[in-house]
Amino acid sequence: MTVLGNLIVLLGLVTATGAAVLFFRAANGKPVRPDIPRQAVKIHAVFVFLASLLLLVQLLSHDFSNGYVFSYSDRSLPLHFLLSSFYAGQEGSFLFWALCSSILAVVVLRYSSSRHTDYQVMTAFMTVQSVLLLLVFVRSPFAAVWDLVPQMQKGQIPLDGRGLNPLLQNIWMVIHPPVLFIGFAATAVPFAIAIAGLWKKERGMLVGQALPWVLFSASVLGLGIMLGAYWAYGVLGWGGYWGWDPVENSSLVPWLTSMGLLHTLLAQRRTGKFVRTNYFLALISFVLVIYSTFLTRSGILGDASVHSFTNPGAAIYWVLLVFLGVAAIGGFVLLGVRWKTLAPEPGHSKILTREYALGGGTLLLLMIAFVVLFGTSLPIFSKTRVEPAFYDATNLPIAIAMGILIGASLYLQWEEQDWRQALRRSWRSLSAALLATVAMVLTGVQDVMIAALAFAAVLTLFVNIDIAITVAKGNWRFLGGKLAHMGLALFFLGVIGSGKYSATQHAALPKDSPQQVLGYGMTYLGSRQLPDGKFAFDVRVESGSATYSMSPVMFEAAQQGIMRNPDIVTSALRDIYLSPVSLEGGAATLAGAPQEITIRKGETLQVGTTKILLTGFEMSAHGAAMSANEMPIGAQLKVSDGDAEETITPITVFRPNSAPRYRSVESRLLKSLVTLKLVNVGMGGGGSSAALELQALDSSPQQPETLVIEASVKPFINLVWIGTILMIVGFVFSIVNRSKES
């Protein structure tokens, strides 16, 4: 199977490259039968499909002679997780991306052929596809298991696989990555059309053909990002949905530039302006997708992000780097050569017009993209890492300006500058937004900047409702933009409520002893083992006459320590969010494991009469690494009991493809404990954190079984998800409408 799989991938690479070369020759007037490269595109898609089918068959049949199947699946996985194992690892995810792109290649071929631009468009698109297949060939998902696991002899086949990462055994793993990869693949289409337009010297080609594809790629990529956010919220247990992790950010940046491109394309269709801007944005959006892939797949962010691949191999690193350089340099050199021919059409636009408002909105989106890109890329050039507070503080005023601009722009005309008429049209929405903001201030919104963001969001909401009512009376097909803006306004309001005004409390719940937590009565009822071996901890939550049953989960994962899944009770106005921290005392323990606590950077936890403060991490922990592939991390802890203080640093050496190596430390101040061990490190959302294992020195009198939890109440978080759904619905309306126009 190894030889067959690699042969199919190689044939796909050859046909994709051949199609690109033949389209290039035809575009330059060389004698080529048009049907040959077109058939090559379809044949290449068949080869990519066959390679994908072969890997899928090996996964479903538990063929552990395949190293990829061995590494990411086992016999106990249900069908849907076996399917998601296809793209759980680096090799499979490249193949899945190539599969999505090969399907799009057939669609784009038909789309561009009907517009007589297929020679140029398909040259660019199939070049991109060739590089994707080169990545699959270099990092093959069909390598034999004995080639990947040095301990195995040639021909030796394991009885079972290593299994799928427990954090990936979630229904959102089945949905989120495919949507994200389709979005990545789709951004190559506006890029290819931009290359073709510059090549053919047709300044109107991008605006004439790319708009439906920009809508499609932006909507799918945005949906993928928010599905990942919902996954993080419902599964990871840190209490948020967006933590400004570098890998999360790397997907956000091309979405922001694509959204900017969408708005300036609309302006160009009406006024003929922003031609240079649009070609630049079409190029940079796909370049940023490649950059995102480089950050995620090259291992360069292995120390800064919990999501990135850390051991990709030198070949992948250099292929991605060359891919990034060629796409960026080739695209922007071509743009520079055609720069003069893309000069704006003559005419003097006035400032108070919708054209300038759309341009201003795009500028604000690019400002956010730059801030996020700066913070994301900083770990590459510096040991400094940007904390989430930086993004929040920097982007807040930009978001306020963007909300006000969205609201104001819809009352402006395209060519005429009449601010009096704009004010007459907007007074109802302005008044309603002011009244709503005053009501929010009176009910608890005290921060001036947050109040300003709330005003901008409510203004955007009321303006778009007003315009949508008028549009619906004429032609409902034009509601797309209004629905998307209404969704964005609701999203902002949800972010304000769930982010700024959520309440969080750590609490200890002795078994069968009711406790008051955040105004709710919470009673820990006991633990039970689930069929999959995990432990659920049943908690009764009471609020007035209402009673809820919540069951957060903890389980021990090999090489990852204790994992935690929250439970959530959702209502119209708020979510009650319960995440387990540890189980203390009593006879019920997790497989006899020592006590484990999780502590965030800058946080102080009380253990008995002693306090533990996590001051930071040491990434070069005292020469603990024994080879270049090992990554030592030390948790710097300050321990105090009121009279004395000590600083200790337990160290863990993380090693690829093997269990971590621990270096525990003793504490003289923790009276009932002898050692502390660092078992896990989190550097994602909610700030950096460390999971510590505390080993008891003596058998002190048994304490009541107690569940330690982190409880949160998150007001109006449903607006985040409702706003996202409404934005996607708006995109679908717009895609249907603009496809007919195109």
Domain boundaries, the chain: 1-163, 170-340, 387-502+717-742, 503-716
pLDDT category at 247 given cuts 50, 70, 90 is confident
Confidence of residue 655 (pLDDT cuts 50, 70, 90): low
The predicted model gives 344-354 an average pLDDT of: 71
Selection from 181, 196, 189 nearest residue 211 by Cα: 189
Q: Which residues of 140-173 are buried (b: 16+ CB within 10 A; e: fewer)?
A: bbbbbbbeebeebeeeeebeebbbbbbbbbbebb
Residue 591: the pLDDT is 39
Tell me whether residue 500 is exposed, middle or buried, using C-beta atoms within 10 angstroms of its C-beta: 0 to 12, 13 to 18, 19 or more.
middle
Which pLDDT does position 627 carry in this prediction? 47
Q: How far apart are CA 173 and CA 86, in angstroms?
A: 11
Q: Measure Cα distances from 481 to 260, 415, 478 in Å.
A: 14, 20, 7
Whose tokens are 């006024």? That residue is: 271
Residue 696 is predicted with a pLDDT of 63
Lowest mean pLDDT among 317-321, 336-340, 514-518: 317-321
**3-state DSSP assignment of residue 718:** helix
* 14 pLDDT higher than 80: yes
Q: What are phi and psi of 239, to 5 degrees?
A: 100, -5
pLDDT above 80: residue 361: yes
- CA pair distance 654, 302, nearest whole angstrom: 11
User: Tokens for 135?
Assistant: 């990545």
Find the mean pLDDT for residues 489-497.
Answer: 94
Task: Flag the least confident range among 263-267, 270-274, 558-562, 579-583.
Answer: 558-562
Instruction: Read off the pLDDT of each residue in 203-223 and give the average, rounded to a whole number.
Output: 93
Reported as a pLDDT band with limits 50, 70 and 90, residue 104 is very high
Per-residue pLDDT tens over the stretch 410-424:
887 766 666 677 777
CB of 211 within 8 A of CB of 281? no
Q: Mean pLDDT, to the nearest integer, of 377-398?
A: 85
The packing angle between helices 246-271 and 275-297, to 10°, is 170
**Given a cut of 80, is residue 82 above it in pLDDT?**
yes
Percent of the chain's residues with pLDDT above 70: 90
Rounded CA gap, 567 and 569, in Å?
7
pLDDT of residue 364: 94
Whole-number mean pLDDT of the chain?
Answer: 86
Report the C-alpha gap between 487 and 464 in whole angstroms.
10
| Comparison of pLDDT for 451 and 626, the residue scoring more | 451
CA dist., res. 728 & res. 722, Å (int): 10
Please give the structure tokens belonging to residue 666. Answer: 């003793």
Tell me the C-alpha distance between 18 and 10, whole Å.
Answer: 12
Tell me the pLDDT tens digit for each residue of 259-310.
999 999 998 988 888 999 999 999 999 999 999 888 877 767 655 444 444 4
User: How far apart, in whole angstroms, are the C-alpha atoms of residue 700 and residue 543?
Assistant: 36
- Structure letter (DSSP) for residue 5: H
Do 80 and 178 form a contact (C-beta atoms < 8 A)?
A: no
Amino acid at 505: Q
Choice between 377 and 126, residue whose per-residue pLDDT is larger:
126
For position 495, what pLDDT does the model report?
93
Higher pLDDT, 3 or 618: 3
Give the pLDDT band of residue 589 (cuts 50, 70, 90).
very low
Question: What is the per-residue pLDDT for 308?
Answer: 44
Asked if residue 171 lies in contact with residue 81, where contact means CB atoms within 8 angstroms, the answer is no
* Residue 655 backbone class (left: φ over 0; alpha: ψ -120 to 50; beta: rest): beta
The model scores a pTM over 0.85: no
Report pLDDT for 309: 46
Query: Contact 491/454 with Cβ under 8 angstroms?
Result: no
Other C-beta atoms closer than 10 Å to the C-beta of 132 total 26
Q: What pLDDT, on a 0 to 100 scale, did the predictor assign at position 660?
A: 78
Query: 285 or 685, which is more confident?
Result: 285
Kindly state the DSSP code that residue 533 receives in the 8-state scheme. S
Residues with Cβ < 8 Å from 688, sequence gap 6 or more? Answer: 600, 601, 616, 617, 681, 682
* Greater model confidence, 130 or 315: 130
Count other Cβ atoms within 10 Å, centred on residue 679: 22
Average pLDDT over residues 589-593: 43
Please compute the mean of the pLDDT values over residues 388-395 and round it to a whole number.
89
Closest CA to 461 of 432, 495, 499, 419: 432
Half-sphere exposure of 417 (CA within 13 A, CB side): 8
Q: How far apart are CA 63 and CA 60, in angstroms?
A: 8
Lowest mean pLDDT among 46-55, 129-138, 384-393, 553-562: 553-562
* Predicted confidence (pLDDT) at residue 407 exceeds the cutoff of 90: no
| Whole-number pLDDT of residue 663 | 80
| Range scoring the smallest mean pLDDT among 26-30, 161-165, 433-437, 652-656 | 652-656
Tracing tokens 């080609």 back to the chain, one arrives at 205
Going by C-alpha positions, the residue among 208, 275, 268 that lies closest to residue 414 is: 268
Task: Copy the structure tokens of residue 469.
Answer: 């009512």
Q: Taking residues 57-63, report their average pLDDT.
A: 94
Confidence of residue 702 (pLDDT cuts 50, 70, 90): low
- Six-digit token pair at 333? 């050199």
Mean pLDDT of 312-317: 70
The confidence score (pLDDT) of residue 415 equals 66
Confidence at 313, pLDDT banded by 50, 70, 90: low
Q: Is the pLDDT of residue 521 over 60?
A: yes
Q: What whole-number distance in Å separates Cα of residue 689 and Cα of residue 596? A: 13
Alpha-carbon span 104 to 189, nearest angstrom: 9
The 3-state DSSP composition of the chain as helix, strand, coil percent (nearest 5) reads 55, 20, 25
Per-residue pLDDT tens over the stretch 533-547: 788 999 999 998 899
Give per-residue pLDDT as tens, 728-740. 999 998 888 877 6
> ∠ CA 264-269-274 to the nearest 5 degrees?
40
Residue tagged 């660092």 (tokens)? 678
DSSP 61-89: TT-TTBHHHHHH--TT--HHHHHHGGGTS
How many Å apart are CA 262 and CA 244, to the nearest integer?
A: 24
Checking if the pLDDT of 129 tops 70, the result is: yes
- The torsion angles phi and psi of 555, rounded to 5 degrees, stand at -155, 155
SS in 3 state form for 139-203? CCCCCEHHHHCCCCCCCCCCCCCCCCCHHHCCHHHHHHHHHHHHHHHHCHHHHHHHHHHHHHCCC
pLDDT at 447 over 70: yes
Reported confidence tier of residue 245, pLDDT bands at 50, 70, 90: confident
**pLDDT of 109-120, one tens digit each?**
999 999 999 999
**How high is the pLDDT of residue 149?**
80
278, 265 contact by CB (below 8 A): yes
